[in-house]
Structure 1
Amino acid sequence: MPSGLIALLDDVATIAKLAASSIDDVAGAAGKASAKAAGVVIDDTAVTPRYVIGLAPERELPIIGKIALGSLKNKLLFLLPGALLLTAFAPWAIVPILMLGGSYLAFEAAEKIAEALLHEHHHKKQLLDSIDDPKELEQLQVKGAIRTDLILSAEIMAIALSSLEHLTLGRTAIALTVVAFAITFGVYGAVAVIVKLDDIGLELSKRKRGRRLGNLLVRIVPGLLSFISTLGTAAMLWVGGGILVHGLEELHILTVVPETIHHLSLKADVAAGSLGPVAEWLVNALGGAVVGLVIGGIIAMIVRKLTKHPEDFVVDA
């Protein structure tokens, strides 16, 4: 698979298959799926914290809770029924729909890069700062996070669904529900820990036994959150681009793109020796990011031509 996220989600699909094989195995499979959520955390966890950076500390966990609830709604109320209906009546539409979602992720990332290069992020920050009502600002941030989560969640559900074709409709629904809960709790549990690291460090710094670790956390967390915010933009590029590359491969369109990325990743695997799997993943991620940047950049240019306010399309922290 051309995307690191897609390769990792293949493992989640295997867990879904195990969950569907027997009702008695659902609880055990859910635990394994939660462990496998570490793969998705690379992408989804990198994106989410930027929606709470700069907001009141006491509102961080409630906001993450709202985003997690929105993520579950995305999966269970929209994506699960949609996936079952598409499987039954229009399986050919799944890949194009995913590609549309990948294009949107790539557009979001490209727009953020353009804002940074053109120093437009200061204007957006002023717009957010001009919102006097904290509840309105919070709703704005949660809405943006849930919208981005919808695309990532669609990828999770689609990869899981791809391995459940032989199962009955009921068992497929159970398996996808297990994956939805396991991944959501895994991802947003990790996000909650990340955004509260500074508070954890502050509390430890007041104790004799944990003072050094606490002081270290207090010093490094601001930079860590800034790095994660940047990583979130990169994640949207390589995930969105990866979806597009996979779609091109599935639809047999511009196959030279996925074939080239696959060829380079295999060469990197061989050249890196014992670190081959890491090198292969990096090349796939880089290839997806390049495709995402090109497609997202084109879309961003079109949007900027059509509107003087591209921030109306993208609302970030």
Structure 2
Amino acid sequence: MSTTENKSVEITKGINGLDKVILREINGSSAEVYLYGGHVTSWKNEHGEELLFVSSKAIFKPPKAIRGGIPLCFPQFSNLGTLEAHGFARNRVWTVDIDPPPFPSNTTNRVFVDLLLKPTEEDLKIWPHSFEYRLRVTLGPAGDLMLTSRIRNTNTDGKPFTFTFAYHTYFSVSDISEVRVEGLETLDFLDNMKNRERYTEQGDAITFESEVDRIYLSTPTKIAILDHEKKRTFVIRKDGLPDAVVWNPWDKKAKSMTDFGDDEYKHMLCVEAAAIEKPITLKPGEEWKVRQELNILAHQYHVQDCVVVKESKANAREVVKKILIFCSLH
């Protein structure tokens, strides 16, 4: 765990006395991670603006998973298997990993925390596989947030295991009707609203007028979420995660969830880097490593070497294309 004299990494108590880790970057950005779930619940820019959505009705009490932030879906996404929906990693207590193996990533001028999850005896009864899941949450000097996951098969019986996975990221948006997602056009997707039937995206961007619950397949390494009203764009960069889930529950489903406000669907959007269509199989001793990096770009500035211009709705799509083109060079 990174440590400095200015408390860049601090372990403290959160809601209901749950342990959490606060990461503070020298320029003012911050993040918080609950040990319950290895769950990122806050990511703020240097102005203190919250970039992730967490429901006002979220229940910070085991065994209920926290509604919002970045839940970790492992070893199962949704109900695509025999386990509870989205697996059990998001409602187990992780430990701070004080002696992790080397991460081959640049940690200069970055603050980070390493967490570790191993199965309990109860976990082994419902999913009889031994594993080590190491998670590094990193906050970069420009306020970028990176999650790196390393999952290792530690079975001693010689058996492989198979799993699906997602970073179930809830982004905070001004108004879902003013939001568009770029980078997934022309791709095939599985529609969870229609028994996972396969379709091809026909729009030049994804916009929202009703409930959306789709798994996009063979997606690019970069996806952009343009929030016109806030004049900012989230850029998701991902390595090793071929799929992307796009979800907004809209009004009817929002009202059916006890840990979600009736109108909160207007201010959130899930775009999730994932491995779902082709499950991952690990033999004993094998390790799977993936990464998600989140950046926030203000449209009127030159930010992180990504040249962005002021936009109107008419040329919003061109703005995002420029963002993706210029960011691909860095």
Bigger radius of gyration, 1 or 2?
A: 1
Larger RCO, structures 1/2 (Cα 8 Å, 6+ apart):
1
Same fold, TM exceeding 0.5? no
Q: Which structure dedicates a bigger proportion of its chain to strand?
A: 2
Give the structure-2-normalised TM-score. 0.22
Give the structure-1-normalised TM-score. 0.23
Q: Which structure dedicates a bigger proportion of its chain to helix?
A: 1
